[in-house]
């Protein structure tokens, strides 16, 4: 298949494009959701021996979701810089160590989004956390022990991947 035409059909907070694909003699039209690219991290406080997660309202779930810290990568920003910024804004910590787990397509059948997933170690709380008021973020910081993390039920895909990675390696 080859993309022969791209048309932006919606350009709001998120974007939606219609792609025309050539498949041999046949042309197909498909919509593609374009939310941008994100970075996320499973954060471990090495001083307190606790994992730090967030709980916040998510429009897709229409409710609160317990998940790892995450945020959208700004234009001309690298994923590593994004997740360091997000950990500071959401959790209030400076990052000591950062390790990339994977960059993935969470839903490649209809979305152009990628998420770079990291493991981060922190030890110094330097801010309040809780998100940014000007971004309408109301984030609760949730602390979980290793045991609690292992038994916690998660419904968020990036969080499941990061937690499974930790279970296999820690």
Reply yes or no on whether 31 is catalytic: no
Rounded Cα distance between 52 and 144, Å, is 7
Residue with tokens 């390696």: 169
Exactly one of 31, 64, 128, 135 is catalytic; name it.
135
| Residue 131 near residue 89, CB atoms below 8 Å | yes
Active site residues: 135
């Amino acid at each position: 298949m080859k993309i022969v035409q791209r048309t932006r059909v919606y350009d709001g907070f998120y974007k939606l494009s219609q792609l025309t694909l050539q498949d041999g003699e046949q042309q197909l039209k498909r919509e593609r959701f374009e939310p941008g690219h994100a970075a996320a991290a499973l954060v471990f406080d090495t001083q307190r021996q606790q994992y730090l997660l967030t709980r916040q309202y998510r429009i897709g779930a229409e409710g609160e979701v317990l998940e790892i810290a995450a945020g959208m990568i700004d234009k001309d920003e690298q994923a590593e810089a994004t997740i360091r910024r997000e950990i500071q804004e959401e959790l209030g910590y400076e990052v000591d160590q950062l390790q990339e787990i994977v960059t993935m397509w969470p839903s490649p059948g209809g979305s152009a989004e990628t998420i770079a997933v990291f493991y981060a170690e922190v030890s110094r709380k330097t801010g309040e956390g809780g998100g940014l008021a000007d971004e309408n973020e109301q984030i609760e910081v949730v602390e979980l022990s290793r045991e609690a993390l292992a038994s916690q039920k998660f419904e968020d895909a990036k969080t499941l991947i990061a937690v499974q990675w930790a279970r296999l390696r820690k």
